[in-house]
A and B are shown apart, each in its own frame.
Chain A
Amino acid sequence: MSIKYIIDGKVVTAEPSDTILTSALRAGIEIPSLCYDKRTEIYGACGLCVVEAEKVPKLLRACSARPQEGYIVHTNTPRTIRARRAALELLLSDHTGDCRGPCKLNCPAMTDCQKYVKEIAEGRYEDAVNTIYDVFPLPASIGRICPHPCEDACRREMVEEPISIAFLKSFVADKVLEMDPYVIQTAPDTGKRVAIIGGGPAGLTAAYHLRRLGHSVIVFDQQPKMGGMLRYGIPEYRLPKDVLDKEIQIIEDSGVVMMNNMKLVRDITFERMAEEYDSVLLAIGAWKSQGMNVPGEHLEGVIPGIEFLEKLGRGERPLLGKRVAVCGGGNTAMDCCRTAVRLGAEEVFVVYRRDRDAMPAADIEIEEAEEEGVKFMFLHNPQEFLGKDGKVTGIRLQRMQLGEPDDTGRRSPVPIPGETDEIEVDNVLMAIGQIADCTGTGDVAMRWRGTIDANEQTFRTNMENVFAAGDCTNKGAGIAIQAIAEARQAALCMHQYMMGEEVRGEDIYYVKKEVTPEDFKDREKLARAKMPGLTPEERKHTFDPIYFGFTEEQALAEAKRCLECGCHDYYDCRLIRYANMFEGLDPGKYPGEVHHRPDKEITPLISHDPDKCVLCGLCYRTCDQVAGKTLIGLYNRGFATEVNPMVTEADLEFCKNCMKCVEVCPTGAMKSEIPVKRVTEIL
């Protein structure tokens, strides 16, 4: 006979066979559990399903407790939440693994590198592009120019060399661009209107995400074309503009309105936009070259690097003299010196006040610049730009030495008193940094360095509906993927704001683990794919792209080198889902001994990672109670308890590879050589 009781204020009917867990779920109330599956006998290990029934002093485990007529049950009380949180915090205190690969975690935008590399390895190019588009909309462009922090973190380095993740990205994006134009799927219109000021990587990324979420989006940009620094800061030989054009077209095709030649103050006013639009994003970048405060800075022939590159971007070919000095050690300095080579300068010097190791530019950029004949003058700092008739003719350089480490950890350069050098130059390109020009941003609060002050989690400014992201905010100019990351988060927060939700962005907790080369000592060494391209000699005379891109064969082989560090079952893992469900959960609350155990082979097709195991018992219970075998068991006690194969060579024939043990695993502990869909049956 069925009974009625109340759970979370809902009247629920329960059959005699029902537990609180099953009857609640049928009424649409999900109670968390890691160890329940209806195919096995009730076990009750995880304790997550605890609920409180009025007038019952003990917490009830919903998986086993039978509801009684008239029960008043609450699933989310402070007491049940405390018990669940403690259970999860305890589990996480001894749960070792990598939810996500280090590549993804090191990408500022958290692009799922491992996933798209895997998709490339399997030839699923469209899936790979979709994976990237989940995060940002310019894969072919970014793949070419990103300094790829992902590769810095890549553990393949511990075997021989990191995976060429960035080039794999441009490879696959090119592949898809060659086919039908990529179509962005958009949600139904929300009726909300967004204005984005600045059409660089940040502005375009935000526009894309907001449009995808169904908002009406307009982007204003001061330049004749969209793309920002990607177009006007990065030379053609690194990023062909037709690639960028195609990617921007895809965004425009999704319905984003793009307005060029619109400059703040001159053509549009910020205040009006803040009033007229539901929300506004300031993504105006950092377009001002930082001055050097050196006498002679205003001599003719001393050119801010950014202005120089911007001209190139507009299709101009500025005339340079024979001897060109570039001041600075970053990627902009490299772009400047290598462009100068291409413009015909006979001698190009890079003047940098620290040593090579301290250069912020990407290694490959420095190497290629050297190959192209650029000379480097390390530990030199301009003391004065010398001139004649108002025109620069040379630089007096102060010799430097390295002193105490500064707050970036690099040793700071200090002058060696009295030691100077002089060089003759026809031009100087200043590339020591870029700063934001925030003229016309009204009452938006600034930081002392002249950047917009935006909350680092939500990217909200001091103004209710105004957000800001990218180079114009906080710490100032950085790499494109950083701006993209901020823009994506800002877009999410603008969406939350406009939809009346709590503005909090996205903050996901992941489990990580430490590894050493020792863990990979058995891996076969496979060389990293070499990008085919022009020879240094050929490069010096052309703005043509220096790289040809991977061949398909190369790309497939490269993608297959991936060690697949991130957990395969991330999307099905109930532990990480619950861990992120509880606000204020502190995985580091109970530090202590943590296991580090090797995987165990259960059968040739099935293995078990004890460090990811939550000891829910589902695998061995399923083997016993569902499959009718007993090939898996538990051994040891207490903290040392482990799932253990109970198979001997002779028993193996009993395993019919039904994969049920893998199917029921709530985490990524049970692994199989063949894909198995995780399934939990509650009802």
Chain B
Amino acid sequence: MKVIVGKGSCGIAAGANDVYDRLEALSRENPVPGSSVGITGCIGMCFLEPIVDIYPDPDKPDCLRLVHVQGKDAETIWNAVKSGDLAALEPMKIQPEDEAFLTQQTRVALRNCGVIDPESLEEYTARGGYRSIRRILEEKITPEAVIEEIDKSGLKGRGGAGFSTAFKWRAARNSPGEEKYLICNADEGDPGAFMDRAVIEGDPHSLLEGMLIGAYAIGAKEGIVYVRAEYPLAIIRLKKAIKDATAAGYLGDNICGSDFSCKIRIKAGAGAFVCGEETALIESLEGKRGMPRLKPPFPAQAGYWMKPSNINNVETFANVAWIIENGGEAFAAMGTENSKGTKVFALTGKINRGGLVEIPMGRTLRDVIFGIGGGIRGGARFKAVQLGGPSGGCVPAERLDVQIDYNQLVITGAIMGSGGMVVMDENTCMVNMARFFLDFTTKESCGKCIHCRLGTKRMKEILDRIVEGKGEEGDIEKLEDLCNAVKDGALCGLGNTAPNPVLTTIRYFRDEFEAHIYEHRCPAGECRALISYHIDPDKCIGCTACARQCPVNAIKGEVKGVHVVDNELCTKCGNCKTACKFDAVVVK
């Protein structure tokens, strides 16, 4: 039997290290012949972590999946393994409806995530890894033919812009010059997005193989992975993967005995969101301050050290080996007319089942949120979903049937983005949400161009005023005006897209802005300056729970008597509402 602990960052955060360490210790102290303990990367079901999979037959894919496993469960698990009777583990077994989270997905980029040990080259090759690059080199498939295959697949950049991968590769290939570079953008910075981290932590070799194929296609001898320093585990696993692949001859000189040579190295970014913008990333790689360059020239013409360079993101590369293995047509068979293949989303927010979701393009947002994600947590009403993080926009309930498709999403005002999908319910104030994302972009603006440096700042100041109840007539129009100016005038993608959260919230939730400005009211009851807490005398039983939780003693009342909030003292922390078991605390 094989016991596998999910050791992605999310699993570790939930306690997977403890589970693994104890199981591993038990397996040493109390070995069971034919049984072992191993790890895997992120399975994608964050809401169930830590997860332990038990494979009765390591050669068969069927497994018993245990969820919310704690360190103290290790002994129970190991005893069950030893006895061969897994019935004792039944209480920890995943529920069928939760299992549906995975079974409704189609995994291409994440094909090995949560399945193989990311630190084992053998497990990767056992699942067909490095077969594509070997085939290309052994069968002497030309770079042009490789690009042709990618073209057939219709693969578009998964980092956000959605530009044709084949087009970029061809441009870099055709760009004159001997020295070319292939760069992987792993500076995943959108709040709430963790697709790329999962790939590197869970299946680093698929990234390396995708990069090798890309390097071969464009004629690069060097690849660089620009990973954000906030992903330490990803860096460790990628380093090991590079070392193992080099030792096995998949990296370095004369790969697989061919005359193709390619090295890949890691560059850890220092934590600037804008470095996810390809030209700022190049500046950072060159050791300069991370600020975008003006395009043209495009990186394919003059990128890293002004040499032809190609940049793709992690998820894009993770699809490449699969496409070569299965053919461009197989990839293109999935999806819609102009959006082919699958896309990974990081589903988060007020959702019942959050995690990594990979689905073919063309499914609807409703499908993802209510089908796979199981709807809104706590039975609240769905309000909107933010796609593409701070660069994207929100999609409201009435547009949930939109297909996941680059063009369809743009029509809603949102974008495909890199895959962040933050779900909001009726208790989320959309003005405050827009402010949150703008706060992010304002802080992450590099300061180079006027529109972004000052435009986002001024927009945020207007939003600050609105949520503080100091909005003025004309603020919405001024915001729209400023949004359009920044969209048009900013130098790079960060600035061009920073207004999107504001524009889409104004578009779909203008009434919420108006309520803040004209009625000094926050309909979602979130903006502290505009709300007050009250206790419903008909519901209050005088349990004193609220008064005990109040940090400023603003709630008065006798035991078993109706309590009252003193709004002069109240700091609107919301503790009372959380504490009340009788729904007596109301926000007005």
Contact = CB atoms under 8 A, between A and B. Distances in A.
Contacts of A654: none
B294 A640 contact: no
B454 interface: yes
B446 A638 contact: yes
Nearest to A63: B294
A637 B489 contact: no
Interface in A74-97: 79, 82-83, 86-87, 90-91, 93-94
A129 B249 CA distance: 84
A555 to B, nearest CB: 44
A46 B449 contact: yes
Nearest to A642: B447
Contacts of A590: 454, 458, 478, 482
Contact of B454 (A59, A94, A636): A94
Contacts of A413: none
A86 B296 CA distance: 23
A500 B530 CA distance: 58
A91 B454 contact: yes
Interface in B368-419: none
Contacts of B293: 44
B324 to A, nearest CB: 34
Given A83-B485, A637-B446, A64 B454 contact: no
A614 B478 CA distance: 23
A61 B294 contact: yes
Chain B interface, >50% SS class: helix
A551 interface: no
Contact-residue bracket for chain A: 35 or more
B17 interface: no
Contact of B296 (A59, A64, A640): A64
A464 B549 CA distance: 78
Given A593-B457, A639-B445, A42 B294 contact: yes
Interface string B404-448: 000000000000000000000000000000000000001111111
A44 B397 CA distance: 40
A91 B294 CA distance: 20
A265 interface: no
A592 interface: yes
B491 interface: yes
A633 B287 CA distance: 14
B457 to A, nearest CB: 4
Given A47-B489, A83-B485, A87-B451, A592 B461 contact: yes
A535 B294 CA distance: 72
B450 interface: yes
A50, A94, A637, A639 interface centre (most CB from chain B within 10 Å): A637
Contacts of B457: 592-593, 638-639
B482 A615 contact: no
Contacts of A633: 289
B57 interface: no
B272 interface: yes
A567 interface: no
Nearest to A590: B458
A641 interface: yes
Interface string A497-534: 00000000000000000000000000000000000000
A634 interface: yes
B455 interface: yes
B482 A86 contact: yes
A574 to B, nearest CB: 14
Contacts of B481: 86
Contacts of B482: 86, 590
Contacts of A617: 448
B318 to A, nearest CB: 30
B450 A46 contact: yes
B489 A639 contact: no
A44 B289 contact: no
Interface string B288-299: 010101111000
B38 to A, nearest CB: 43
A93 B453 CA distance: 12
B451 A47 contact: yes
Interface in B280-307: 289, 291, 293-296
A251 to B, nearest CB: 47
Nearest to A636: B447
B447 A90 contact: no
Interface in A43-68: 43-47, 50, 59, 61, 63-66
B493 to A, nearest CB: 12
B476 to A, nearest CB: 15
A65 B294 CA distance: 9
Interface string B442-481: 1111111111011111100100000000000000001001
B294 A637 contact: no
Contact of A638 (B294, B442, B490): B442
Contacts, number: 107
Contacts of A86: 451, 455, 481-482, 485-486, 489
Contacts of A45: 448-450, 491
B213 to A, nearest CB: 32
A82 B485 contact: yes
Indicate the size class of the contact surface on chain B.
Answer: 20 to 34
Main DSSP-derived SS at the A contact region: loop
B47 to A, nearest CB: 35
A177 B272 CA distance: 66
Which of A59, A91, A617, A641 is most buried by chain B, counting CB atoms within 10 A of its CB?
Answer: A641
Nearest to B459: A590
A448 B235 CA distance: 83
A79 B489 CA distance: 10
B208 to A, nearest CB: 32
Interface string A611-637: 000110100000000000000011011
Contact of B445 (A47, A66, A614, A637): A637
B179 interface: no
Contacts of B122: none
B488 interface: yes
Contacts of A64: 294-296
Contacts of A63: 294
Nearest to A620: B289
A87 B489 contact: yes
A94 B461 CA distance: 13
Contacts of B443: 637-638
Contact of A47 (B450, B461, B478): B450
Contacts of B456: 638
Contacts of A61: 294, 491
Contacts of A83: 451, 485, 488-489
Contacts of A593: 457, 461
Contacts of A636: 447
Given A46-B449, A637-B447, A90 B454 contact: yes
B447 A639 contact: yes
Contacts of A614: 450
Nearest to A59: B488
A90 B458 contact: yes
A592 B459 CA distance: 10
Contacts of B446: 637-638, 641
Interface string A633-662: 110111111000000000000000000000
Q: Which of A45, A93, A614 has most chain B Cβ within 10 Å?
A: A45
Given A50-B489, A592-B458, A592-B461, A44 B453 contact: no
B299 to A, nearest CB: 14
7 pairs of A and B residues whose beta carbons are closest in the complex: A641-B447, A44-B294, A86-B485, A90-B454, A638-B445, A592-B461, A83-B489
21 contacts: A47-B451, A47-B489, A64-B295, A65-B296, A86-B486, A86-B489, A87-B450, A87-B485, A90-B455, A93-B454, A590-B454, A592-B457, A615-B448, A615-B453, A617-B448, A634-B291, A634-B447, A638-B443, A641-B447, A641-B448, A641-B453
Given A86-B482, A592-B461, 13 more contacts: A45-B449, A66-B296, A82-B485, A83-B485, A86-B486, A87-B489, A590-B482, A592-B458, A593-B457, A633-B289, A637-B447, A638-B446, A639-B457
